[in-house]
Structure 1
Amino acid sequence: MGSEPTASNAMLVPSASRGHWWNEWLDSKQSFPATGNFDLAANAHGLLLIHNDDTVDAGEGFDTHQHRDMEIITWVLEGTVVHQDSMGNSGMIHPGLAQRMSAGTGLLHSERNGATRSERTPLRVVQMWVPPSEAGGAPSYEELDVTADLTNSTMFTLASGMAAHRDTSAIRIGNRDAALHVARLGPGQSVQIPDAPFGHVYLADGAATFEDVGDINAGDAVRLTATGGHRVTATEPSELLIWEMHSAAAH
């Protein structure tokens, strides 16, 4: 992994400045270059290689494809993902049910919108990738329903490989320097961002005020370097995805 940064800053990345790729059934808004990018680490922030907010038409999705040596977190905002993989896992991923795939030495999987074309219900899903601390591990899979944990308007650790979260209910990921937190906030409620060499805060829905940055809206992100402690306060019902990262992806 890369070394820690020395300069401290918080950079707003407005939704309109994110990458945008689409076809007849997929609308993909990408915080980092994903489509056709074969050097993900070169464009990463900390350990975060991919952060896509995808809208998938009913009855459509990604046919069977392969991954290796990647920790993949899938978080559904609207609709349902139908998942199948070469380890024998299959099922429906819905809002509040987090999914983690550790690709390790290699796995095949498919993911599709669970709604039929006649239902016309779109799927909106955020998929996030970080590398494992060590390559070549055995592929593995985990799900965790955190719906009940998101009702108290605090920050909940959704997925982590950090020693500090070993005894929590978080999904375990194969990177010891990364954790993903989520918060659903009502107007006037707030959370404090962890202090870390690298942070990434994504406002999936709603509107909020980010201390020292200003107002942020749905689809906006803030990239933090060698800083933290900022308070984010919702001005309307909001959902935040917060990455805490203590190293950087190796180039």
Structure 2
Amino acid sequence: MNQVKTIQIRHGNERGHTKISWLDSYHTFSFGGYVDPNHMGFRSLRVINDDRVAPGAGFATHSHRDMEIITYVLEGALEHRDSLGTGAVIYPGDAQRMSAGSGITHSEFNHSKTKPVHFLQIWIVPDRKGLSPSYEQRTFPSEERSGILRLIAAKDGREGAVTIHQDVDLYASLLQPNDLVSYHLKPQRYAWVQVARGVVTLNGHSLKEGDGAAVNGEEQLEISTDTGGEILLFDLA
């Protein structure tokens, strides 16, 4: 069956918003107290939270189950601790994957006492429940992401990507002015493009920081920019 070709834009200024003394967070999909039946996720992609955390502050120890959680830092540094005994700091260019599986507790804090941290936290529904909790972190230097789509997470962990327990390929790209990247989407696959920073054009659609786009039935994706930007591209079953 042929897929109907659509690109649906999720404008950043329409996202849910949580703001408290130490946290400024925008929710692409329903999360916590923000519930929108029209935006409950896309395919297995369940959460994209665009978080800014004040210096020295963060999320106290809390628990998760049956979720693949990916953290992608844009500015600053995020400190992570969990019940597996992991202690790590996540910097720009790192991809962190935590499989909550049968149950895990963790905390996340701004590593700096003086500078804010800005990061995207992504939740993906795993392909099965009850996995053994696990943690993985890899560094992808800026030169590996500049002007190309660099695979940073995948079900098979190929090309040095972190391994996620779902049929998803996640790419990151740093785009300079006048860059163009192309991506071929196989039949019966879907894509989500999230603009982390800057302004880009996706198949003729202008997207700015915070915007996302759900792609259905388009075989060829062309992403360009006049001014520069940073994007994540999810290839989803």
TM-score, length basis structure 1: 0.87
Equivalent residues in 2 for 1:28-67, closer than 5 Å: 28-36=25-33, 43-67=40-64
Give yes or no for contact 2:145–2:173 (8 Å, CA) kept in 1. no
Q: Runs of at least 4 residues of structure 1 off by over 2 A?
A: 4-8, 36-42, 148-152
Partner of 1:193: 183
Unaligned runs of 5+ in 2: none
- CA shift at 1:198, angstroms? 2.0
Given that 1:41 and 1:49 are in contact with CA atoms closer than 8 Å, whether structure 2 keeps it comes out as no
Pairing partner for 2:65 from 62, 65, 68: 68
Report the RMSD for the aligned CA atoms in angstroms: 2.2
Q: 1:20-46 CA distances to partner (integer Å, 9 max, x unpaired)? A: 111111111111011236999981111
1:233 aligned residue (214, 224, 230): 224
The equivalent position to 2:134 in structure 1, one of 140, 153, 157, is: 140
Letter paired with 2:124? V
In 2, Cα distance between equivalents of 1:104 and 1:97:
22
Q: Which residue of 2 aligns with 1:102?
A: 99
2:222 corresponds to 1:243: no
What 5-or-longer segments of structure 1 have no aligned partner? 247-251
Percent identical among aligned pairs is: 32
Counterpart of 2:118, as a letter, is R
Match for 1:242: what amino acid? Answer: L
Q: Secondary structure at the match of 2:13?
A: helix
- Matched residue SS, 1:58: coil
Q: In structure 2, which of residues 9, 13, 18 is the aligned counterpart of residue 21 of structure 1?
A: 18
- Asked whether 1:124 is paired with 2:114, we answer no
Q: Secondary structure at the match of 1:187?
A: coil
- 8 Å CA contact 2:95–2:137 kept in 1: the answer is yes
The normalised TM-score by structure 2 is: 0.92
Paired AA for residue 202 in structure 1 = Q
Change (3 A) 1:113 1:28: same
Does residue 142 of structure 2 align to residue 153 of structure 1? no
Give the conservation status (yes or no) of the 8 Å contact 2:75–2:92: yes
Structure with greater contact order relative to length (CA < 8 Å, sep ≥ 6) = 1
